[in-house]
Structure 1
Amino acid sequence: MSVSVFDMTTMQHLWSTPELREIFCETNRLQKWLDFEAALAKVQARLGLIPQAAADEIVAACRIETIDLEAVAADVRRIKHTLVPLLKQVQKNLSKDGAEYLHYGATTQDVVDTGLILQLKEADAIFRRDLAAVGRELARLAGEHRDTVMVGRTHGVQALPITFGHKCAIWLDELSRHARRLDECAPRVFVCMVVGAVGSQASYGPRAHEIEKGVAEELGLGATDISWAPSRDRVAEYVTLLAMIAGTLSKIGNELFNMQRNEFAEVEEGFTEGKLGSSTMPHKRNPVAAENVAMLSRSVRYNAAMMLEAMVQEHERDGIAWKSEWKSVPETCLVTGAILFQAAGLLKGLRVNQDAMARNVDMMKGYLLSERVMLELGDKVGKNTAHEWLYEASMSGIEKGLSFADALRAHHEVADVFTDEEIEKLTEPSRYLGAVGESIDRVLARETGAAWLAA
């Protein structure tokens, strides 16, 4: 029975990807626990702490395909413990001597936390790959539309001219910082947990740190200097970073959603044959990809808040806070994976309507350039006087339905300062783009060949 958007046949593609579902499925979760047990036994045998024969048995038995999951589930409900029933299933495939050395010195949180980190590391590779795909599409759009003039809006209304390439380059610049954050947090996050019941490592004996380093090496993780069982900042940092990535992509999706409004019509997401906008209005071509990207990040942001709550632990271990990670971390990764995948597709198929952008620039009949004229006029008559004259000209011109150029010509003081030709140049949007082009060029030059974009 499907009860979640992540496992419903008709919905799961909107909320996750097959790769991420595979990583966070139950069998992979339990296999990661078994991977820890196998690595622990191998290291302990190598250090002479348990018999090599026992370790060989344990390694061979720690395979999920040998486990009766229904029996594990029944035992979890019966004994109210998440790990012991799995260990009992493994022991069935061990000799009496081998079974004595399974989970030797370990505690449940060692296994579960290390397993979670192994899942996160697998997911991280996918996030990096898909973040790069989004970045490459933004770089392409920034370059292709470096000089495509459009309206820049502040507070939801027209402000000054920019280019669509500038908008895309800003998004690319932001994503590049997220890529660096992923690099920077990796050594802090991808570490194992081999600390025992209260983090003292007493159960592992005098060679505890050697065991920890060995297990870390076996699993491709880092070792730590001290227990992080009650310190959930590592997991919280990663989930919060995913929320930031999702927030950036949500902003992009929301912007492209708004730019597709019929009244703007500046972009349109790719249309495929058979795509349907409404069950009752056959003409509609809804921005479903953009709105889904914008929507998905909301759940990620709320899960990040849950992870901040989980940082408040009691004493040396706390199931109240700890177990909330079992829900929030997989959900965050599934949804973030969906956002990245869908954002890349949205940008790849995006159609940019340059004619509509030009039409919207002209919508205000040149008043978009009031700042430029004020600065030029201010150099001649003083800024305050220039502002006063242009306010008079603008208000009168808007009331009379005049273009900004004609409004300037109709204002005697302004007309005495500028010629008709100068007024035409001053009210041409493409002549007032500031350092937009140079800014785009700097970002693209910096990111061309960047390692994160090649992921």
Structure 2
Amino acid sequence: MKKIPIEKIKEIFSKKNILSSYLLVEKEMALAQSELKIIPKKSAIEISKKCNIKYFNLKFFEKDLKKTKAPIVSLVNFIVKLCSEESKKYVHYGATTQNITQAGSALLMRKSHIQAMYRMSDCLKTLSKLSFKFSNQPMIARTNGQHGMPMTFGFKISEWTEEILRFEERFEEIEKRLFILVFGGAVGAMHSFKNKGESLYKNLADRLNLQRVEVPSRVIIDNIAEYTFLCSHLAAALSNIGRELNFYMRDEIQEISENLPEGTVGSSTMPQKINPKYVYTFVALAEDLASYTSRGNAMMSIQNEGDLAMNQFQKQTIQEIFPKLNILLEEFNNLLNVIRINRKKMNDNLEITKGLINSENIVMSIAPILGKQKAYKILHEIVDEVRLKNKNYQEALNSNKDIKKILSRKKIIELTDSKKNIGNSRKVSLKMSKIAEHRSSKLCSRLNKINQVTK
């Protein structure tokens, strides 16, 4: 299973796929039980063959479900109907509803998670290209909304890239807690399987390629809550990136725009307006998923050894957040691919302060001789004078008695060149570009290996 089209992501949690996942668990459970001589091998083989969605009659299932009000009971009733008199005695042998639904859910979550991580790999690849392409494109770095110092747009991309890389690490690290098999019978203590419970648990977990826990309690829900928090956390970070991009799209800044098709309309009453489209859609999606933090907290209120209300709430949350995570990452990559960089405006905006943004460069060039505090005081006074009296910054520097003893006119021109005063921006951009490209490729390879061994 490679990356599937985004329009088919929601189908992972379709009714058909959910039932298929339950049937797969019933099938593997029967085969595992036969290996341990809990049920006859002949019956296990027959049950495993009948646990196939191609034999499934949805009308029968829904009719029976109206009567039982219990999906797994109706599912079992259908399997029983297909089996021989001898084999039907061993269908769903010793298991409880949650054993099947939680295992099936884990399998579908893994499929959707893998798809999301393929999309994260795509995002890293795009960020890598942007970081490289604009590694040497100067722009203004702003602190507290004010012009600070020059940097490059590649450096800005690198900031976002490293943040996404940390999220990629978090998503990989959570897999061992998320993709677990919770299988222990009625309340988790293996009552039905007696001394073969542990062996059955290990066998079935291996068959489904799911992790085991020490206490397979039906009320394990903190891992789903944790994943919900993580999705929400990522969405909040992506929303911030979207808003940052939108900031650069303002009329008074114009450093970035969207590559919109001809004929795009911004307002029904203001003809001159061409509003950003992609970024607002993206931020709306991000804010929606970011709001799921409260869902994660709410699902932790689970009672005793079984709580149907929280089970249903958990199921609903799972079926919402996993597709939304995929869609959000898809849209993030789309947004990164439609932004258009206005190099001229980035260069022009660097000169708004007429060189003042390079003041720290002057301070640190004279500090070894005068000391940092004195150097800072001198520059602060010069900057105030330039602003109040509308003086030329370079001339003000050249006329200062302390500075001209240390720096030549040529050196001052060099130190106040905003396009060159970018620090390690280019070096960092190129480094992060390589790291992101490598991590994107590594992530893809890891996902491909998981696909080879998963059900």
TM-score range with shorter-chain normalisation?
0.7 to 0.9
Which of the numbers 16, 41, 44 marks the counterpart of 2:30? 41
**What RMSD, in angstroms, separates the aligned Cα atoms of the two structures?**
2.6
TM-score (norm 1): 0.88
Which of the numbers 397, 415, 421 marks the counterpart of 1:426? 415
**Cα distance, 1:155 vs structure 2:** 1.8
Residue 133 of structure 1 aligns with which residue? Answer: 122
Output the CA distance in 2 between the equivalents of 1:254 and 1:336.
18
Residue 349 of structure 1 aligns with which residue? Answer: 338
Which of the numbers 104, 121, 132 marks the counterpart of 2:110? 121
Which of the numbers 208, 212, 226 marks the counterpart of 1:223? 212
Residue 201 of structure 1 aligns with which residue? Answer: 190
**Cα distance, 1:72 vs structure 2:** 4.0
SS of the equivalent of 2:149 reads strand
Output the CA distance in 1 between the equivalents of 2:370 and 2:129.
44
**Cα distance, 1:330 vs structure 2:** 1.8
Residue 178 of structure 2 aligns with which residue? Answer: 189
- Map 1:324-339 onto structure 2 (within 5 A): 324-339=313-328
SS of the equivalent of 1:441 reads helix
**Cα distance, 1:350 vs structure 2:** 2.5
Output the CA distance in 1 between the equivalents of 2:351 and 2:207.
64
TM-score (norm 2): 0.88
Pairing 1:362–2:351 present: yes
SS of the equivalent of 1:431 reads coil
Residue 174 of structure 1 aligns with which residue? Answer: 163
Contact (CA 8 Å) 2:217, 2:305: kept in 1 or not?
A: no
**Gaps spanning 5+ residues in structure 1: where?**
1-15
Range with greater deviation from structure 2 (70-79 or 339-348)? 70-79
Contact (CA 8 Å) 2:141, 2:150: kept in 1 or not?
A: yes
Mark the CA change 1:28 to 1:273 in structure 2 (over 3 Å): closer, same or farther: farther
Output the CA distance in 2 between the equivalents of 1:78 and 1:160.
70
Amino acid at match of 2:80: Q
SS of the equivalent of 1:105 reads coil
Deviations 1:168-202 (A, max 9, x none): 12222222222233332222221212111111011
Which of the numbers 268, 271, 277 marks the counterpart of 2:257? 268
**Cα distance, 1:228 vs structure 2:** 4.2
- Map 1:2-151 onto structure 2 (within 5 A): 17-69=6-58, 72-73=61-62, 75-76=64-65, 78-151=67-140
Instruction: Give aligned-pair identity as a percent.
Output: 26
SS of the equivalent of 1:434 reads coil
Which of the numbers 139, 145, 153 marks the counterpart of 1:156? 145
Deviations 1:292-345 (A, max 9, x none): 222222232332432233234322222343332112222111111111111112
Mark the CA change 1:407 to 1:26 in structure 2 (over 3 Å): closer, same or farther: farther
Pairing 1:444–2:433 present: yes
**Gaps spanning 5+ residues in structure 2: where?**
448-455
Amino acid at match of 2:130: L
Mark the CA change 1:421 to 1:311 in structure 2 (over 3 Å): closer, same or farther: same
SS of the equivalent of 1:160 reads strand
Amino acid at match of 2:126: E
Output the CA distance in 2 between the equivalents of 1:267 and 1:172.
18
Contact (CA 8 Å) 1:161, 1:433: kept in 2 or not?
A: yes
Contact (CA 8 Å) 2:65, 2:74: kept in 1 or not?
A: yes
Deviations 1:56-110 (A, max 9, x none): 3322332334444455445545544343233323333333433322211111111
Mark the CA change 1:371 to 1:94 in structure 2 (over 3 Å): closer, same or farther: same
Amino acid at match of 1:347: L
Higher relative contact order (CA 8 A, sep 6+): 2
Which of the numbers 277, 296, 305 marks the counterpart of 1:316? 305
Residue 5 of structure 1 aligns with which residue? Answer: none
Range with greater deviation from structure 2 (16-25 or 162-171)? 16-25
Amino acid at match of 1:263: E
Contact (CA 8 Å) 2:125, 2:437: kept in 1 or not?
A: no
Output the CA distance in 2 between the equivalents of 1:228 and 1:443.
43
Residue 453 of structure 2 aligns with which residue? Answer: none
